[in-house]
Structure 1
Amino acid sequence: MRDGIEQTFAEHPRPKLIYPFEQGPKTGEAIDVAAGLKWLRMPLGGALAFINVWAVEDGDGWAIVDTGMGGAATQQAWRQAFAGPLAGRTVSRVFVTHMHPDHIGMAGWLTRKFDCRLWISRLEFLMCRSLAADTGREAPADALNFFKAAGWDEEALETYRARFGGFGRALHALPDSFQRLSDGDEVMIGEHMWKVVVGSGHSPEHACLWCPDLNLIITGDQVLPKISSNVSVFPTEPNGDPLTDWLTSLARIKTRVPDEVLVLPAHNDPFFGLHARIDHLIAGHERGLARLRELIAEPKRAVDVFRALFRRQIDQNLLGLATGESLAHLNCLIARGQAVRTRDENGVDWYRAAA
């Protein structure tokens, strides 16, 4: 799960979104949000507490969209759902918006239990398999050098070594095959056509599902109402520019999907106000980039710039997220020609505003 740290948007309040439901479903229960579409929640623990998942009538079965984190608690929640609001139908297909464990973690369990197919974009499936393969490995030198370059001290690097490979432990064993989702695909689920709208930045090829007939869109983590999804640079692509991908794909979604849709996000509650939320997310990151550029008038390491982007204190548990997001903003400035990076004799990177 890679949801973002609340950023410094306080000086620009969130838009007044409309939340049509007074409360969400309890574990094992469901709420009807549209004809043939049910809203369920799977437990996560931690600050977010749960993830929203969706069941769509699909002929004689249910098409499930997102699955929750792998583990006994989520498995029990699904068993309650199948004994309760989803009883009487099998699962026909499992759709996953993207590869993070809170979304794909139970996909293997569901597809094997009901002998059905996983539907996911190709890059998400392959990247998930790649990360799951790290389970049990020692932290590679490339990753340690990456975080050393960001300014991590030896204690932080040692913590990273100890935690490395944890991604796969949050997954039930992945299916061995999948049905590919691509941007622009039109997929019949039950009686309605759903359009695939792909975003990127938070993950490589994140698939949102938009149903014009029902006037709603399942956005996964691509558009959330109260938090900004994590957009990070990782050791696998140290010079990547995911923030530009993120901002570009948000703007593109605004041109393709009408404002009046009901937005079904992975976290928090369904809402109306898609375009206003997209505008707020884009503007917030642009303000963060402007603050960051001011801060690096004098050279700074990645770990020195957190105050330009985050309103909360960054502790050891948030260090990886904060570093990844800071590097995403710094790499974006470099791509725009507004910053330069130099590496010192100790292998540490320093960033400063371009003249």
Structure 2
Amino acid sequence: MTADATAEITGHVQWQAWQDGVLPPVERVRDGLWSLPVPLPDNPLRYVLVYALELRDGLALIDAGWDADVSWQALNDGLASIGHDVRDVRAVLVTHHHADHLGLAGRVREASGAYVALHELDARTVGPELDTYDKWRHGYVGHLVRHGMPDTDADATADAIDPDRLLRAPRPDVLLRDGERIALPGLDLRVVWTPGHSPGHSCFYAPDRQLLFSGDHVLPRITPSIGYLLQSVGDPLADFLRSLDKLTGYAVEEVLPAHEYRFRRLDRRLAHIARHHTERLAETLAAVTAHPGATAWQLAAGLKWSRAWQEFGLPQRRFALAETLAHLKLLAHRGEITEHAGAPGQPVAWTPAAPAAPAAPA
């Protein structure tokens, strides 16, 4: 979903690079603060913006990038261009556990002795032993089929996920909690827990500079993917909407996201993203009303996306299924629709909630 004028672009060089389809350059954002683009191979997001903050005795990184040789080389080249080396890194502060943010943290730690910090909720989802892969695959395929994906598509979707990258993500050394101050010399940075995109997603706020490192929680042009996944519990979309509200009113001069480009006018962007989900919830409710008894997969195929459903490959369709499920779960928690588990072996179906019985006469 494209943004309108709600996001005022400040990273003009990054924006131009995005328009041109190229990697942006390393940039000095403020004194002692650098933006280092790290490529994402074969990914439409193209790169992760890793931020390097100068300390009194080295560097702290916010996010690390995808674990690939080309990404590792770009990170090292970026550090060299600002007069540093990976061995100068003292800490890697990771906004969330997804592979494009956490992936290279292990290599950085091995090269420098830096600690890796991640919110405690996301730490629970990384690093199981490889011999659990079969168990994971069985559960993942079952989750997809249970929500309507055809068996052959579910098998192909699971086969396309790299088990080594999935199951051997680096474990964090430090567990972060909401509101705590990062204890690094010369750095004033606070953890702002913003669940939704992941259970432990966290932004980092620098109150002295009024900067917000927003990870994937708030981006200038697209809305982050909020999905209900195999490991999900509770209501991820409700968590995300509360997290948007939580940031409203923060004194933020500039937002430094992990993708795309820097921007201002945070409050307007927050409201724009919230409005998108309000509209999407209404569209999803209308689809359930028009097709009672449909599965999430069937409903996803009929919703509006950035491209036609027929143009989506399986990776895009699994994300679309997860996002549709997140909206269905929130509507169910609000009592507007009903989830039906059905008989064993039958997929979950969705119907409008039954109207409330009329009150008995007094």
TM-score for the superposition, normalised by structure 1 = 0.88
Which deviates the most, 144-153 or 276-285?
144-153
Q: Would you tell me which structure has more strand in proportion to its own residues?
A: 1
Contact 2:145/2:154 (8 A) holds in 1? yes
| Deviation for aligned residue 1:230 | 1.0
Q: 1:252 aligns with which of 227, 246, 253?
A: 246
Q: 1:267 to 1:28 in 2, by over 3 A?
A: closer
Instruction: Give the Cα separation in 2 of the matches to 1:43 and 1:170.
Output: 19
Residue 242, structure 1, aligned to residue 240, structure 2 = no
Which residue in 1 is equivalent to 2:34?
A: 38
Q: 1:212 aligns with which of 207, 210, 224?
A: 207
2:202 partner SS? strand
Matches within 5 A, 1:1-355: 6=1, 14-24=4-14, 30-45=26-41, 46-87=43-84, 90-130=88-128, 133=130, 136-137=133-134, 140-164=137-161, 166=162, 168-169=164-165, 174-175=170-171, 177-237=172-232, 240-255=234-249, 257-258=250-251, 260-297=252-289, 298-299=291-292, 300-306=294-300, 307-314=302-309, 315=312, 316-345=314-343, 346-354=345-353, 355=355
Instruction: Give the Cα separation in 1 of the matches to 2:120 and 2:220.
Output: 27
Off by >4 Å, runs of 4+ in structure 1:
25-29, 132-136, 170-173
Contact 1:200/1:249 (8 A) holds in 2? yes
2:49 partner SS? strand
Counterpart of 2:78, as a letter, is A
Instruction: Give the Cα separation in 1 of the matches to 2:24 and 2:276.
Output: 36
2:248 partner SS? helix
Counterpart of 2:75, as a letter, is W
Contact 2:64/2:103 (8 A) holds in 1? yes
Contact 2:130/2:168 (8 A) holds in 1? no
1:305 partner SS? helix
Contact 1:109/1:172 (8 A) holds in 2? no
**% identical aligned pairs:** 27
Instruction: Give the Cα separation in 1 of the matches to 2:207 and 2:136.
Output: 45
TM-score for the superposition, normalised by structure 2 = 0.86
1:48 partner SS? coil
Contact 1:106/1:171 (8 A) holds in 2? no
| Deviation for aligned residue 1:286 | 0.9
1:268 partner SS? coil
Q: 1:135 to 1:69 in 2, by over 3 A?
A: farther
Q: CA RMSD in A?
A: 2.4
Counterpart of 1:353, as a letter, is P
1:99 partner SS? coil
Q: 1:250 to 1:167 in 2, by over 3 A?
A: farther
Long gaps (5+) in structure 2: 356-362
Which deviates the most, 88-97 or 24-33?
24-33
Q: Would you tell me which structure has more helix in proportion to its own residues?
A: 2
Q: 1:190 to 1:31 in 2, by over 3 A?
A: farther
2:8 partner SS? coil
